[in-house]
Amino acid sequence: MAPLTRRNLIRGLGLLAILSAGAIFAALHHPQPALAPDPGRLTETIPDETTLFFAGDIMLSRHVAEKMFAADDFDLPFEKVADWISQADISFANLESPFSDQGPRLPEGLVFKAQPQAAAGLTYAGFDVLSTANNHTYDQDEYGIDYTLRLLQDRGILPVGTQPTDGSILPPAVITKNQTRFGFLAYSYAAHNDGGAIPSPYVADFNDLPAMTQAVKTMKAQQADVVIVSMHAGTEYTAAPTAAQVAFAHAAIDAGADLVIGAHPHWIQTAEQYKNKWIFYSLGNFIFDQMWSEPTRQGLTLLATYRGRDLQKIELRPVIIDDYCCARPATTDESQAILARLGLTSPILVDNN
């Protein structure tokens, strides 16, 4: 062993410095692989936002049908609003006219029938879920109920609010987007166009609050993270909801519903926030031929944005119906007038972003 002299000590320190520098260089240019993360320390993934589009009554009979056949264009009623519908993750409305492949077209009157060709417009627009529960459900009898359900399902659209007349039960209308399950229920004050005199076992009954609340509770507990309830009810051509509409909507939210959407009055009605949830008592017409008054030509659509179960934003998008058939976005002045009737100054009703 070499004696510990001053020269040997200096030489040793120099060699140690060289070795240390080499180690640092190697570490910089040949980094070691990163250690796998500890699964116990992983944070929960935040779901992406999901957008839902809602509209009011769609009627594809009478003058609307005549306009489509005259133009040989079954996308016609939706062409100016299709982007709103298709760009949402999930789109919903009320289908006011049953489909049937039997008999002639019905150009007028209070009995509705949509021709099978008109279903192409619903696909083109991009609807995912349609309520078939309304006072025109029986306009084409039981045959029309079953034909409509099959036609929508064949086009990948979920019908909700009615059941097949053979006693079979449709699966729950639930769509999963961005790790979140969105469930839909729909109810009507009447199965026939008779003011609600004769209920039907095939049409979900707006008047049966115990059955509705149990359905909401079951869906929320077992099938969906967010539950949307549609109601077809109220007094036609009025701007305020009836006591029955209010009672139904409040009961739905008490049972666990996250959003209530209304149709049938053919006018836009007021919106209400109840227990931090939103109720739109009537979105009015969306595709219809009631050109005889300003309120029946006006409709309200909305875009609701959720992140997981949490509502982030609601944007109101008014529409105007032109030429007995066709919806278009309202102009700025038209939108302001519609919002003013609702006591609003901004189309952004909720913004938690």
Confidence of residue 19 (pLDDT cuts 50, 70, 90): very low
Q: Which of 175, 194, 160, 147 is nearest to 52 (CA)?
A: 175
d(CA 248, CA 252): 6
Q: Which of 23, 28, 19, 84 is nearest to 302 (CA)?
A: 84
Q: Which of 280, 209, 185, 275 is nearest to 241 (CA)?
A: 280
pLDDT for position 189:
98
In this structure, how many other beta carbons lie within 10 angstroms of the beta carbon of residue 165? 15
Collapsing DSSP to helix, strand or coil, 11 comes out as helix
Our measurement of the distance from residue 268's CA atom to the centroid of its chain's CA atoms, rounded to an integer in Å, reads 18
Across-strand partners of 304? 52, 314
| pLDDT 10s digits, 233-255 | 999 999 999 999 999 999 999 99
| pLDDT 10s digits, 41-93 | 445 577 899 999 999 999 999 999 999 999 999 999 999 999 999 999 999 99
d(CA 145, CA 129): 16
In this structure, how many other beta carbons lie within 10 angstroms of the beta carbon of residue 121? 23
pTM for this structure? 0.87
| pLDDT 10s digits, 155-196 | 999 999 999 999 999 999 999 999 999 999 999 999 999 999
d(CA 200, CA 137): 10
| pLDDT 10s digits, 258-271 | 999 999 999 999 99
